[in-house]
Structure 1
Amino acid sequence: MKKINTFWNWFQDNNQTIKNLINETPKNQKNISFWINKNLNYYCREIDFIIVFPKNDIGKTELIITANGNPKYFKQVITLVDNAPQLKSWKFTAFIQPTERINEIIAGLDTPYVFQEITLKISELKFKSLDFDENTKKWDIIIFLKNYTLQCNTKTLKQAVFIILQDLLGEKSLCQNINLIHLAQMPDNNTDMIYLYDLQMVIDTQNSK
């Protein structure tokens, strides 16, 4: 508990500086982020943070604590956030949450994800289930990418798809429900495939049986 209090005491003392991070120079942003990470590491080295800034001056700045999808550290994330202070201009969240832009995605109006030379839109991705393990309740799925000729599953491409799935399902659901992910090029005939944005619905349907 002492390490938790140490982090939150430091955060409270510096919360205005952190809240203004987006208006700082790149050099100062890097320095402030370094100290956030350093103080967080005093509590647990395996967890990370994401700061989401509000769209207007009256909105709250959100600090997301993430275990990077590693269930070994879910407890540490939950405990830290459960003991967060009440700060008027801050919102504290455990884990990366599922996107709230699902209707936008279904309509094909989603913003593309850009990773180096790779550009992907959730609305253009489809998937098939390869296997469902009754013991672990986890899925093996294959995700089909539009307009990509896959010579091999590159590390960057796998990381990109993982980030997209984490945004779509949320950190906990991805960890709890998905086992293996394979990538393939979208075939011309893909009418029997399911849009990726419907993956959580498929998971929920199975879990309700």
Structure 2
Amino acid sequence: MKKINTFWNWFQDNNKTIQNLINEIPKNQKHICFWINKNLSYYCKEIDFIIVFPKNGNTKSELIITANGNPEYFNPVIDLIDNAPQLKNWKFTAFIQPTERIDKIIDGFDEPYIFHEITLKASELKFLPVEYHELSHKVDIVVFLKNYNLYCDTKTLQQAIFIIMQDIVGEKSLYQNINFVQLAQVPDNKEGLIQLYDFQLFLDNLNGVDLNNYFLKMWETVR
């Protein structure tokens, strides 16, 4: 508890400087971020932060504390946010939450994600479940990309897919429900493939399904 209080005391003392981060020159931004990370690491080295600045007339900045999807550090994230101070111009959030732009993704009007030489749109990604693990209640899935044969299976591409999935369903849900992700080229027969933006809907509908037969039949549709 002492480490939690130490971090929040420091944050309160510097919250105005942090909130003005977006208006600083790059050198000062780097310096401020260094000290946020440094003070956060005194509490827990394995968690990180994201700052979302106000827009559309909103006066509150948002500090998101993330475990980078590692369940071992979910509790430290929750404990830190549960003990956050009440500050007029700040909102404190545990974990990266699902995007609020899901309607744009469904309509195909979403902005592309750009990762070095890779450009992907969430609205164009599809997936298929291949196995359900009864003990962990997690699923293995294949994510299909239009240009997989062009990109090939690189570490950057894998990271890009996880970032997009995390944005769609949220950090905690992703790592509570996904066991393994394989990447593949979209097949000629697209019957049975599910839009990636419907992943949460897919999870919600799993209850009451004969999972093994269900997964087998879905996978056979694209063989």
| TM-score category, normalised to shorter length | over 0.9
Partner of 1:184: 184
Q: Which consecutive segments of 4 or more residues in structure 1 shift more than 6 A?
A: none
Cα separation, 2, equivalents of 1:174 and 1:208: 21
Counterpart residue identity of residue 95, structure 1: F
Q: Is the 8 A contact 1:97 1:169 kept in 2?
A: yes
Q: Percent identity?
A: 70
Partner of 2:132: 132
Note the 1:46-85 alignment, pairs <5 A. Answer: 46-85=46-85
Partner of 1:161: 161
Deviations 1:37-61 (A, max 9, x none): 0000000000000000111454310
Counterpart residue identity of residue 34, structure 1: F
Partner of 1:109: 109
Cα separation, 1, equivalents of 2:27 and 2:155: 29
Specify every segment of 5 or more residues in structure 2 that has no aligned partner in the other structure, as ranges: 210-223
Counterpart residue identity of residue 197, structure 1: Y
The TM-score normalised by the length of structure 2 is 0.90
- Stretch of structure 1 that moved more, 185-194 or 105-114: 185-194
The answer to whether 1:201 aligns with 2:197 is no
Cα separation, 1, equivalents of 2:195 and 2:56: 33
- Stretch of structure 1 that moved more, 54-63 or 91-100: 54-63
The answer to whether 1:89 aligns with 2:89 is yes
Q: Is the 8 A contact 2:143 2:183 kept in 1?
A: yes
The TM-score normalised by the length of structure 1 is 0.96
TM-superposed deviation, 1:110: 0.6
Cα separation, 2, equivalents of 1:127 and 1:171: 18
Partner of 1:21: 21
TM-superposed deviation, 1:208: 6.6
Counterpart residue identity of residue 86, structure 2: Q
